[in-house]
Amino acid sequence: MDQDSHCTAEREVLEAVSRITTFSTTNPSDEDQPTAEISCQLRKENPEKGDLQDSSATLSPHSSMTTKELQDYWRNEKGQCRQVKLLFEIPSTRIVEHHLSKYVMYKIIILQTGSFDSNKSVIERRYSDFEKLHRNLLEEFSEEMEDMTFPKKTLTGNFTEEIINERKLAFKDYLRLLYSMKCIRRSKKFIDFLTRPELQEAYGCLRGGQYTKALEILLEVIGLQERLTRGNPVSVVPTLCAIVVCHKDLENPASAFEYGEKALSRLRVHSSHRYYIPLLETMITLAYELGKDFLSLQEKLEEWKTKKDPVRVFTLKELAVQEYVQ
């Protein structure tokens, strides 16, 4: 290939990369949507130079690609790091009258966009819950929230259809804006607002021996927890272990083992986690009961014991019942 042809080919590569980069960052379907952080990010400085370096390094085995093949290649690469987004909808409300109090419960549906999501999460929150969230977030993120407005209470008319519909739209936009800010969507206060009431109820049922009811709630909330804590998978370990305890006490060892494996996979590099040894001991018991290989689990337990000083270790159930104790 002569020098002019080589330069022409290089220009085609750069133009193709530039077009695809522009497409991926200005896709109208992504506009105005809260987007979770993804592992593949475009370079902020000298994007052309960065793209050239990346493309030459990544595409060295494919230097004879046509422009169409190059576009297909980059689309495939983009698909490997698909953005994860959560959508918040408030489709309905209900008025609750309890003794001397009266309030509106807002039904919130949370689902993942970008793919079919059959495991949507449904929760209910009242005005005072949103108000408490706003107050708590302002303590930590006052700068980020300085331009956000919150629907104020009125002296009268709080239960009129007009006011309720206005607040439905306002709370929907409020949640969307909060989720669009990485520092807030990853904060414990925001995640607690969306999951804590249900978890408190589930653990209360567990402590009371109502394992079927506890399991039902935990299975509903675990999906939402996983969506909200993608950057911190260890944070869902207590919920997974509570599910293990419920299945085990309901004499469903196969299901208990399945969720125990999920929890162990998140603790692979966190052997100092308080749930690690109780979970290992439970998994050994379950594996033996199910006729599965438990020797590898036993080896991990013995390895941990040789490295650590003997300490008082709670059982998995003892740890679970201590969660969310007021």
Confidence at residue 303, expressed as pLDDT on a 0 to 100 scale: 87
Sign of the torsion formed by the C-alpha atoms of 172, 176, 179 and 181: negative
Q: Which CATH superfamily is domain 86-186 in?
A: Phox-like domain (3.30.1520.10)
Per-residue pLDDT tens digits for 291-305: 999 999 999 999 888
**Contact indicator for 137, 174 with CB cutoff of 8 Å:** no
Show the tokens assigned to 289.
């009961």
Domain ranges in the chain are: 86-186, 198-322
Confidence at residue 39, expressed as pLDDT on a 0 to 100 scale: 33
Give the integer Cα–Cα distance in Å for 15 and 48: 10
Element (H, E) at 104: strand 101-113
Q: Which CATH superfamily is domain 198-322 in?
A: Tetratricopeptide repeat domain (1.25.40.10)
Give the integer Cα–Cα distance in Å for 95 and 102: 7
Give the integer Cα–Cα distance in Å for 308 and 310: 6
Q: Which residue has the tokens 């162990």?
A: 264
Q: Which residues contact 317 (CB under 8 A, 6 or more apart)?
A: 245, 249
Show the tokens assigned to 180.
């669009």
Per-residue pLDDT tens digits for 109-161: 998 876 555 678 999 999 999 999 999 999 999 999 998 989 888 877 788 99
Which residue, among 237, 286, 225, 245, has the nearest Cα to 262 in the 3D structure? 237
Confidence at residue 115, expressed as pLDDT on a 0 to 100 scale: 57
**Residue 23 identity:** F
The parts of the chain modelled with pLDDT lower than 50 are: 3, 5-10, 12-63, 77-82
Show the tokens assigned to 218.
């935990």
Confidence at residue 73, expressed as pLDDT on a 0 to 100 scale: 54
Rounded to two decimals, the pTM is 0.73
Confidence at residue 44, expressed as pLDDT on a 0 to 100 scale: 36
